[in-house]
Amino acid sequence: MSNVTYLAKLGELTLKGSNLKEFENRLVNNVQLYLETVKARVFLRAGRLYIEGPESSIPAIEYTLNHLIGITGWAKTIVCEKNIESIKKAVMQTAILAKNEGAKTFKIDVRRAEKTFPMNSYEIAIATAEDVFEQKIMTVDVHKPDALIRVEVRDRCFVYCDRNTGRRGLPVGVSGKGLLLLSGGIDSPVAGYRMMRRGMKVECVYFHAYPYTSEEAQKKVETLATIIAGYGVDTHINIIPFTEVQMRIKEKTPDNFNTLILRMCMMKVATMVARRIKAKCLITGESLGQVASQTIENLEVTESICEIPLFRPLIGLDKEEIINTAREIGTYETSILPYEDCCVLFSPKHPVLRASVEEAKKIFDSLDITNLLEEAYEKREIKRFAARDYVAENFSVQSSQQ
């Protein structure tokens, strides 16, 4: 069986200085984790990431490159010998494939890293474009081509069509670990994804109030965790039984403060989980002014009880922007399934809009709820979701030989 080669261009990490190697190693390690159950070779060379494997590994490799954070683009590439005839043949093959996919115009872009090659970049471009043009495969457009065919002359020659956009950002894991408060809604998965793009390893915590929230609601959140793991290599979800906590809040809290006090309790337990897993921050999907609990005054109340930093990556986005990202990463259709989480079910009709920290803390302290929160934390259930498991279950796999 013949092998295939994929090439990916590195993104923001190339701007790093003395710690560049750390970022590169993390990116390669992430790819190897995705492809742990697949026969594939992964390596970096001269600012390019290469993945080589048998044809049976194509679905797994393309899944990985579609989810891998830290690259600007990727392509399946033809590898050929370092002579002009081999390069011309590879360019013709690539042009025909591009035409079959609907391209009508093309441009050749050459990068000659191997300076001993007898032709310069311009000469290679002219020689390779000539056959494509003369055989009327496509016409030339140097400004806005449908197909940009790239030729890279290195230790070997790589010819590919630059048509797959990568997921920019830093490799997951270079910026520490954060704990995401994951609900079944649209916002929190997007918040986790945005932090992953800044290189953060994201773990999750979910608050479940059975029987007021159904088993379907929990399964919905677990599905979201699976999708998140596709971008973050893997994740753990800590499922916190919160029924007794919510009942205490319902019984002893003024109705208009229910949601706000619930948020404070969640932050308290989430901090316990974060300290246990050595996460350096909490992450939420809050957006300023989106709902009553997200006025600036109420956000201040929520944050006042946190003992570690609280990150809100969506704070300045509107709902449409958040939904667009949710659609892009594949969480939207799951998030809109009609299974309500505990926040929605216990929401008051007329929530407080501008609470003061002093008043909210006074109500919180009056609940005498510390023991219940600690008990909920101790009863947590932990589940792991890994991209490699998704690859193993959905694509042709073989023994790892990396």
Domain boundary among 135, 165, 195: 165
Residue 310: beta bridge partners?
A: 282
Whether 172 is in a domain gets the answer: no
Whether 297 is in a domain gets the answer: yes
* 145 and 181 inside one domain: no
Whether 397 is in a domain gets the answer: no
The amino acid occupying position 217 is A
CATH code for the domain of 305: 3.40.50.620
* 367 and 265 inside one domain: yes
Contacts of 71 (CB under 8 A, 6+ apart): 8, 9, 10, 11, 27, 49, 65, 166, 167, 168
The amino acid occupying position 135 is Q
282 in Cβ contact with 270 (< 8 Å): yes
* 156 and 298 inside one domain: no
Whether 298 is in a domain gets the answer: yes
CATH code for the domain of 147: 3.30.2130.30
The pLDDT value given to residue 400: 42
The pLDDT value given to residue 343: 57
pTM of the model: 0.92
pLDDT tens string 222-256: 999 999 999 999 999 999 999 999 999 999 999 99
ω into 351 cis (within 30 of 0)? no
* 343 and 234 inside one domain: yes
* 228 and 352 inside one domain: yes
Phi, psi of 158 (to 5 degrees): -120, 125
The pLDDT value given to residue 346: 66
Between the two ends of the chain, the Cα-to-Cα distance in Å is: 18
* 241 and 95 inside one domain: no
Q: Which domain holds residue 306?
A: 177-392
Phi, psi of 167 (to 5 degrees): -100, 105
The pLDDT value given to residue 401: 42
Closest CA to 263 of 349, 156, 373: 373
Can you list the residues of the chain whose pLDDT is less than 70? 1, 341-346, 396-402
Contacts of 108 (CB under 8 A, 6+ apart): 91, 124, 125, 128, 129, 149, 150, 151
Whether 89 is in a domain gets the answer: yes
Rg (CA), the chain: 26
Provide the angle, in degrees to the nearest 10, between the axes of the packed helices 370-378 and 258-277: 50
* 118 and 198 inside one domain: no
The pLDDT value given to residue 338: 83
Supply 113's token pair. 């890293």
The pLDDT value given to residue 345: 58
The pLDDT value given to residue 21: 93
Phi, psi of 194 (to 5 degrees): -65, -35
3-state secondary structure at position 372: helix
Q: How many domains, the chain?
A: 2
